[in-house]
Amino acid sequence: MTAYFARRLLLIVPTFIGITLMVFTITRMVPGGPLERMMSKMQQMDQSSNVGKSTNNNSNKSSALSEDQQEQLKIYYGLDRPIYISYFIWLKKVVTFDLGTSTRYNEPVWEIIKSKFHVSLTYGLLVLVISYLVSIPMGIYKALKHSSIFDNISSAFIFIGYSIPNYVIGIGLIVIFAANLDLFPMGGFASENFSDLTMFEKFADIVWHAFLPVTSYLAASFAGMTFLMKNTMMDNLSADYVRTAMAKGLSFRKAVVGHALRNSLIPIATSFGNSISVLVMGSFLVETVFNIDGFGLLGYESVVERDYPVVLGVLVISSLLFLIGNILSDICVALVDPRVQFSE
Amino acid sequence: MIKFKINPLTQKKIKRFRTIKRGYYSFLLLSLILGLSLFGELMVNSRALIVSYNGKLYFPTYGAIITGKTFGLEYGYETNYRELRDKFKSSSSSDWLVMPIVPWNPYENDLKEGAFPPLPPDSSVGHFLGTDTTGRDILARLFYGFRIAILFSFLLVAVNYSVGISIGSAMGYIGGKFDLFFQRLIEIWSNVPFLYIIIIISSIITPSFFSLIFIMLMFGWMFMTWQLRTSTYKEKAREYVLAAKSLGASDARIIFKHIIPNTISVIVTFVPFSVASGIAALTSLDYLGFGLPAPTPSWGELLKQGTANLNAPWIVSSVVVSMILVLMMITFIGEAVREAFDPKKYTTYE
């Protein structure tokens, strides 16, 4: 088993290189990179300063920068070398935890990413804990009371959460609870006067702001997990070993808790590793809707603004989390299910 | 003549599907809406259905535009049928015309003097759900937005599944190095953040309906490929494949005549969910402004307008409600299809 996981860990390397190389190549090949942005900015400034003057430099109008300056900028952004060489330079820096400098903020990418972590992590943890705490008991209860009134009504609600994208739920919640009823803020992570508040008020403020976004995150993750729990529980309840347990005189409660429940938790454990990447990444659509300055929004904005060092930095973190999360899932499964043998 | 014969097993599945009421009625209702939307020009349009002028009948809905001169108006551009109707009403002639239920098309701006859009719902002028920020009728845009989104989604599912089924069954059937190569490719490919790429691409080219399908195919084929690979592997190991092989059937025959028909239940159960996620994906792209170019009617664009104008709640509420209804119906259908193809008989103890 150790050999299996060692191999899986080693396989992260080629996959990681594949992902980053592909995005790196795309960012280098498309127009509108940092150099073009800089040039168009310069051109605008040049034109606005030339207003009123008769411009006689029509031939030179296409670029406000001289050839020399362009070359310097290319070297500054590392655009003077072929793609594969600059990729390896970039990769070498990544290995030493240097993700480069943002072209938009002129700050180290690592610092920018770090400053967003706490926001996404707060929401991620809240969502993770609440969804496990609620959906596991709920799934069990729904399985035991299959096709009861409670089961049918809750299924209808869960279906809404399952079929609607979570940011649309977020928009719906904003319309009802923030715009009309005025119960919750429209968005943001904390109030503007956050630093003046006492410890307790700070906590309450964050919870108050978090309520709607966390609900819309929950709606999606919660639906999937409750159904998973319910369906596996029902499969196990009708399995032969539960019937055997009942037949030998075990009470129903003992048969459920001692036998069916333990086996039903295995698929839930599978999903645990994957929630790690969701935990940190969040969903930028939800973050856009609620105007939360988190990790997802950072990635989205940097793509739109062509801030490629940040794009690649976000990609490094997210793909590593995802790849490690997959392995963690397998480890979880191996831990809860002794039948699983990974060595072939 | 192609023989169209439903085998008894499929008949049984269809029968089971019809007993699941929630899914079956959703299916009927959604088919009805889809069918109506294909002839949407007859219900939501600025052109009249029938015009009777000087004893002659005109049907302007389909075909070339009929200029105002035809109906005795001064202008040489397309007739404004709403004004024509008012004119007919005020004059005592025997001319008449029938307008569609919603007398607006999704592109025209209804700008009134002294009022600034968005305007709240007003059934007297035919804006049953109000107008958007540029004075376009919301019901018309919702209706045509639905048609575009669902047709987009159907086409996307078709191409995704064709590619997925071909590569997936090849992976499962050929196995070995071929399988290993695609496995790695899929692993890398599915980790590439697809939204980033689409945003980067669509900022260079303005995506059209078909180029957007192509871009989304590039990042959507993996799911079905993976499913088909697994089920082909399973089917390949069964005796009937061995039997076919020993009878001398070619690989192509085994794949197309034996394996794929046996994996069809896997494929079918995923279709409704893929359609739903196709609609959701197009809507989110439009919401972000990277989807179909303006002024294409789209739910995402309405959603964006609605969230930017919360003081005009009729925009956001109509699009959110219709999204919930449509996606829920599709999910109900999906659930019923899954249940019909793979019935689970549960035991419960008392």
Domains in chain A: how many in total?
2
A79 and A150 share one domain:
no
A139 and A271 share one domain:
yes
Q: What was the ipTM of the complex prediction? A: 0.77
pLDDT in tens, A132-170: 888 888 888 888 887 788 888 888 888 878 888 888 888
A123 and A61 share one domain:
no
By the 8 A CB rule, do B81 and B48 touch? yes
Q: Of A70, A98, A126, which residue sits at a domain end?
A: A98
In a domain, A19, yes or no: no
A293 and A240 share one domain:
yes
A267 and A137 share one domain:
yes
Which residues of chain B does A144 touch, with a Cβ-Cβ cutoff of 8 Å?
348
A139 and A40 share one domain:
no
Q: Do B196 and A299 touch (CB under 8 A)?
A: yes
Size of interface A-B (CB pairs under 8 A): 109
Instruction: State whether CATH 1.20.59.10 applies to domain B8-38+140-346.
Output: no
In a domain, A341, yes or no: no
Q: Of A52, A71, A98, which residue sits at a domain end?
A: A98
Longest dimension (CA), chain B: 85
Angstroms from A55 CA to nearest CA on chain B: 30
B317 touches chain A (CB under 8 A): yes
Number of residues assigned to chain A = 344
**Of B170, B163, B342, B179, which is closest to residue B256 (Cα–Cα)?**
B170
A189 and A266 share one domain:
yes
In a domain, A164, yes or no: yes
A82 and A154 share one domain:
no
In a domain, A116, yes or no: yes
In a domain, A262, yes or no: yes
Nearest CA in chain A to B275: A163
Q: Do B320 and A23 touch (CB under 8 A)?
A: no
Secondary structure string (H, E, C) spanning chain B: CCCCCCCHHHHHHHHHHHHCHHHHHHHHHHHHHHHHHHCHHHCECCCCCEEEECCEEECCCCCCCCEHHHHCCCCCCECCHHHHHHHHHHCCCCCEEECCCECCCCCCCCCCCCCCCCCCCEHHHCECCCECCCCCEHHHHHHHHHHHHHHHHHHHHHHHHHHHHHHHHHHHHHCHHHHHHHHHHHHHHHHCCHHHHHHHHHHHCCCCHHHHHHHHHHCCCHHHHHHHHHHHHHHHCCHHHHHHHHCCCCHHHHHHHHHHHHHHHHHHHHHHHHHHHHHHHHHHHHHHCCCCCCCCCCHHHHHHHHHHCCCCHHHHHHHHHHHHHHHHHHHHHHHHHHHHHCCCCCCCCC
Give every CB contact of residue B313 below 8 A, 6+ residues apart in sequence. A175, A179, A180, B306
Q: Do B310 and A175 touch (CB under 8 A)?
A: yes
Nearest CA in chain A to B347: A238
Amino acid, single-letter form, for residue B261: P
Which residues of chain B does A254 touch, with a Cβ-Cβ cutoff of 8 Å?
none
pLDDT in tens, A189-239: 777 776 777 777 777 787 788 888 888 888 877 888 888 888 888 888 888
In a domain, A2, yes or no: no
Q: Parse chain B into domains and list their residue ranges.
A: 8-38+140-346
Q: Do A299 and B327 touch (CB under 8 A)?
A: no
What's A144's domain CATH number? 1.10.3720.10
By the 8 A CB rule, do B218 and A46 touch? no
In a domain, A13, yes or no: no
Which residues of chain B does A180 touch, with a Cβ-Cβ cutoff of 8 Å?
313
A151 and A278 share one domain:
yes
**How many other CB atoms are found less than 10 A from the CB of residue B289?**
15
B206 touches chain A (CB under 8 A): no
B325 touches chain A (CB under 8 A): no
State how beta strands B50-53 and B56-58 pair.
antiparallel
A159 and A263 share one domain:
yes
In a domain, A26, yes or no: no
Give the pLDDT confidence score for residue B31 in this predicted structure.
Answer: 93
A215 and A116 share one domain:
yes
Instruction: Give one word for B248, left, alpha or beta, with left for phi > 0 and alpha for psi -120 to 50.
Output: left
- Exposed (0-12), middle (13-18) or buried (19+): which is B305, by Cβ within 10 Å? buried
Q: Do B196 and A311 touch (CB under 8 A)?
A: yes
Angstroms from B184 CA to nearest CA on chain A: 8
Show the domain range for A87: 31-98
Which residues of chain A does B331 touch, with a Cβ-Cβ cutoff of 8 Å?
159, 162-163
B299 touches chain A (CB under 8 A): no
Which residues of chain B does A26 touch, with a Cβ-Cβ cutoff of 8 Å?
197, 200
Which residues of chain A does B287 touch, with a Cβ-Cβ cutoff of 8 Å?
167, 285
A182 and A92 share one domain:
no
For B283-289, the CB contacts below 8 A with 24+ separation are: B283/A165, B283/A168, B283/B149, B283/B323, B284/A165, B284/A167, B284/A285, B285/B198, B285/B202, B285/B212, B287/A167, B287/A285, B288/A285, B288/A288, B288/B199
Which residues of chain B does A318 touch, with a Cβ-Cβ cutoff of 8 Å?
193
By the 8 A CB rule, do A109 and A94 touch? no
What pLDDT tens digit does each residue of chain B (350 aa) get? 455 567 787 888 888 888 888 889 999 999 999 999 888 888 888 888 888 887 788 888 787 777 777 777 777 777 788 878 778 877 777 777 788 887 788 887 777 767 777 777 777 777 888 888 888 888 888 999 999 999 999 999 999 999 999 999 998 888 888 888 888 888 888 877 777 788 778 777 778 888 889 988 988 898 889 888 888 888 888 889 899 999 998 888 898 888 888 888 888 888 998 999 899 889 988 888 888 887 888 898 988 888 888 888 888 888 888 998 999 899 889 888 888 887 766 655 55
